[in-house]
Amino acid sequence: MSFFGNIKKATVSTAKAISNGVELLDELADGVQKSSELLLIKTQASSLENDINHLISNSADLIETSEKRKALSKKYDEIIAKTLDSEKDEYVRKNNSLKKEIELSSINSIEKRVANKEQELSSHDFNLAITEIRKLESIKKDLEHLLRITQPKQHEAAHQKALEKINSIISRVTDLQEKRHEEIISNHPSGEKKYKVKLYDGEKHGMSEFWYENGTKEKEISFSHGELIGTSRYWRNDGTILSEISSQPMHGTYIHSAFARNGTKIMKSSLKNKQGHIDIWLWDGSFVCRAKIKNNKVNKLSAFVRSVMRKRIWVAIYSARKPGLEQDMLNEMEQTVEVYTKFSNELLSHLTYGKVS
């Protein structure tokens, strides 16, 4: 072999040796890095173990201890993934034992929370059935969680106890559902019915009815969950209709009419989202005027100007100044408007425009 051939062969051999050396160094470096990472994880796991023991010995909060255990379990998983079979078995055993502790801790935590809620429930005198139902549903939710994490064979007592409590809550809630509907009834001193108010979850719901002492219906007011909705009416004690209100909060509409004793409509206000108008008639059906309403305020000046422009109107009102039928009709109209206004104000307190019932 020539001189240059020997040099080439030596160079190739040297390059291979260097390459092998580099690979070996890489493997060593990788091994050192993995060992360092594993050592760090083991150190963190050991620190968590000490923290848990300290918390247990000092009767610390179950939630804090549980969080530490969960963090330790994750560290054990990392160690298991990075260790050889001989060492892995030990950490698998430790992790399985830890997971059982976590499970038992969760069971104890839920049972304690349920016990606290049950104690709070027993110390309250609930005015509304729905309030008690909500408390019971909260307990039931915890118990259902308890059922999911307890296996009958492993935690048979806890599982069975939770199941029995859930069944008891279901039965109690069923009874309470009927109590959500209430009726408040009152009578006049004579014994005649005065009013009957229907409630649902403590709010007026359905038709509230009122009667005069002679047994004639005075008014009926329609509610849905405490809100005025539908058609409400007011009668005189002789049974003639005096006022009728139709309220549809979903559409923002409110229509209120008043009637003379002879059935003639004398007022009608129509509102939508607090804007609208009010029409006025005399007792004989003569149209007086229409006044605009803006933000629930009536433009009285405009209405007055329109009314005086109608000769028949001011002649009728002038004639009503003298004793007689027309004066009686005018007086009755004034009384009707007074009751109309009172009834309207009563119902407006229950009205919320634009709110969906």
pLDDT tens digits along 143-157: 999 998 887 677 888
Ranges of the chain with pLDDT below 50: 3-4, 8, 22, 25, 29, 31, 303-305, 307-309, 311, 314-315, 318, 352-357
Residue 249 near residue 352, CB atoms below 8 Å: yes
pLDDT of 98? 85
pLDDT of 85? 72
SS3 215: coil
pLDDT of 27? 56
pLDDT of 355? 37
**Which helix (H) or strand (E) is 352 found in, with range?**
none
Evaluate the CA torsion angle 150, 156, 162, 168 in order and state its sign: positive
Separation CA 225–CA 205 (nearest Å): 5
How far, rounded to the nearest angstrom, does the alpha carbon of residue 135 sit from its chain's CA centroid?
14
Separation CA 312–CA 350 (nearest Å): 39
Domain spanning 186-348, CATH architecture: Alpha-Beta Complex (3.90)
CB atoms within 10 A of CB 244: 19
pLDDT of 317? 55
Query: Which residues contact residue 334 at a Cβ distance below 8 angstroms, ignoring those fewer than 6 apart?
Result: none
pLDDT tens, residue by residue, 11-68: 555 555 555 554 554 555 454 566 777 788 888 888 888 888 888 888 777 778 888 8
pLDDT of 106? 86
